Amino acid sequence: MKSLIVANWKMNPDSLEEAKNLFNLIKRGLTKTKNKKLEVVICPPFVYLPLFLGSSTFAQTRLRYGGSSVAFGVGGQDCFWEEKGAFTGEISPVMLKNLGCQYVILGHSERRRHFLENDEMINKKIKATIFSKLNPILCIGETQVERDKGLTKKILNFQIRKGLKGIAKKEIKKIIIAYEPVWAIGTGKSCSLKDARVAGDFIRRTISLIHSRKIAKGLRILYGGSVNSENAANYIFAANFQGLLVGGASLNAKEFIKILNNVT
């Protein structure tokens, strides 16, 4: 299975010019890498998406260097569940799809915290996203308080069951789950490999109980939370994740390229 590395740029950078620069630096760095078995997805702010999806960009193409190839994708950082209409400020899944996106991040803890998204809303978004033939990346994870109270598994179980409620077996394989302990996001306190592995295994086991072992086996589970070039490879090779969701480190082209090199 290819490792999936998702760059979440969040609300950065400040201008189109800077977005172009970052994009070009990543592109240049990537043409020098020898990555195989890798899929890279960039999730910029909505306003910069056309920059990635124009004909002169690398999105949706495969760069080849001496037999190796990297598949690229582009995704949104969120979307609404309705297809169109009077929903000021919102973006629909079909808009992302028509623009050429393949992925969309949903249920990120920053959306849960600042925009009061709950699991029912996230569930509606996942269904709408699948309907529009996009691959949702569902973010789940416990806060520090929940962790301190020993509630990690309870929270993960709740978020999985609510988030994926009513989603048919055949659709589950389109979903990617990102384990993102909230306390590890943007703090520099990444989760220990042991704890991350326990959480990843628990997520897979939960899906297996809801659906089947076969479906759970094929599921891609990512780790996110203070990923950098030092710890990235271990989450994949030692903690058994199928990819990473990278925030801060994806805004530094050199560091991001290092991550990509280290995980292959």
| Site string (233-262) toward ligand PGA, x via CB under 6 A | ------------xxxxx-------------
- CB-CB contact of 136 with 129 (8 Å): yes
Q: Residue 169 is which amino acid?
A: K
Backbone φ and ψ for 72, nearest 5 degrees, come out as: -115, 150
Look at phi and psi of residue 19 and say left if phi exceeds 0, alpha if psi is from -120 to 50, else beta.
alpha
Binding of residue 135 to ligand PGA (CB under 6 A) = no
Q: Is the dihedral of CA 244, 4, 59, 257 positive or negative?
A: positive
Closest CA to 260 of 25, 78, 10: 25
108 as an active site residue: the answer is yes
Pick 94 or 244: Cβ nearer ligand PGA:
244
| Binder of ligand PGA out of 224, 243, 253, 258 (CB under 6 A) | 224
Which residues in the 3-62 window bind ligand PGA by CB under 6 A? Answer: 8
The single residue of 110, 117, 180, 211 carrying the catalytic annotation is: 180
Nearer to ligand PGA, 33 or 226 (CB): 226
Complex with ligand PGA: residue 94 or 225, whichever CB lies closer: 225
Q: Which is nearer to ligand PGA, 94 or 185 (CB)?
A: 185
Q: Which two tokens stand for residue 259?
A: 């991550």
Contact indicator for 105, 8 with CB cutoff of 8 Å: yes
User: CB of 43 within 8 A of CB of 91?
Assistant: no
Catalytic member of 108, 110, 117, 211: 108
Q: Per CB under 6 A, does 186 bind ligand PGA? A: yes
Spatial separation of the C-alpha atoms in residues 258 and 184, rounded to whole Å: 20
Sole binder of ligand PGA in the list 3, 132, 226, 242 (CB under 6 A): 226
The count of chain residues that interact with ligand PGA, using the rule CB under 6 A, is: 13
Find, among 226, 212, 130, the residue nearest to 176 by Cα: 130
Asked whether position 141 contacts ligand PGA by CB under 6 A, the answer is no
Catalytic (active-site) positions: 108, 180
- What are the residues binding ligand PGA (CB under 6 A)? 8, 180, 185-186, 224-227, 245-249
